Amino acid sequence: MSVVTVKDKSFETYLDEATIQKRIKELAAKINTDYSGKKPLFIAILNGSFMFASDLFKHITIEAELSFIKLASYKGMKSSGNVVTSIGMDDDLFGKEVIIVEDIVDTGKTLYSFLPKLMHQQPKSLKIATLLHKSEATEYPLQLDYIGFVIPNKFVVGYGLDYDGLGRNLKEIYQLV
Ligand code: IMP
């Protein structure tokens, strides 16, 4: 168990590198089987999912495409948290087998607000792969098809996830002490 400081807070190891990588291989194997003979389009949501998307995609052995998009929400006096637009969404999803790749589903609001925009393009199918799921915190009904780890409702950093922009470079996932 190691402790790191990110900005002004202490975090301790929660999921080590080997555990994360082993689980990602398992998820990729399941996706390879489920999508055998198909050509899915993975859409990874930036910034947080870049490491997960990269490691997951390395273990995808079927024909597949990968795109990255960024979601932007209004930031007024108080951020509503409502997703209003996506940046980089230039793929035509019509008839495609789409797999959304997320780092973490917390309340579920981000994906829940964004999914209708994707569905509007009439993909053939739409599934969600998330590395982490804070199941106790989830308020919005979402079907999560591939889940790496169900975790408690505690703030985590590392492996792409940030605390105030920092900590994304850590190889392991750390939990607030
Ligand atoms: P949701 O809309 O509440 O599901 O939140 C999803 C987004 O909030 C994620 O994509 C992350 O960017 C961020 N987030 C939620 N929980 C954490 C956490 O524990 N650490 C870092 N980012 C988080």
What are the tens digits of pLDDT across the range 92-145? Answer: 999 999 999 999 999 999 999 899 989 999 999 999 999 999 999 999 999 999
159 CA from centroid of ligand 1 (Å): 13
- The pLDDT tens digits for 42-76 are 999 999 999 999 999 999 999 999 999 998 765 54
R_g of the chain computed on alpha carbons:
16
Kindly report the backbone phi and psi dihedral angles of residue 97, in degrees, each rounded to the nearest multiple of 5, phi listed first: -95, 105
60 CA from centroid of ligand 1 (Å): 25
Instruction: Give the pLDDT score at 83.
Output: 63
Question: Is residue 155 in contact with ligand 1, taking CB distance under 6 Å?
Answer: yes
Instruction: Give the pLDDT score at 91.
Output: 81
Residue 74 DSSP SS3: strand
Instruction: Give the pLDDT score at 76.
Output: 47
- 8, 92, 103, 106: which one is catalytic? 106
Question: Is residue 108 in contact with ligand 1, taking CB distance under 6 Å?
Answer: yes
Distances, alpha carbon 148 to alpha carbons 8, 21, 29, in Å: 28, 10, 12
Question: Is residue 104 in contact with ligand 1, taking CB distance under 6 Å?
Answer: yes
Question: What is 88-125 written as a DSSP string?
Answer: S--S--TT-EEEEEEEEESSSHHHHHHHHHHHTT--SE
105 CA from centroid of ligand 1 (Å): 6
Q: Which one of 3.40.50.2020, 3.80.10.10, 3.40.30.10, 3.30.70.360 gives the CATH number of domain 3-75+93-176?
A: 3.40.50.2020
106 is catalytic: yes
Bond prior to 153 in cis (omega within 30° of 0): no
d(C-alpha 62, C-alpha 37), whole Å: 8
Contact 156, 130 (CB under 8 A): no
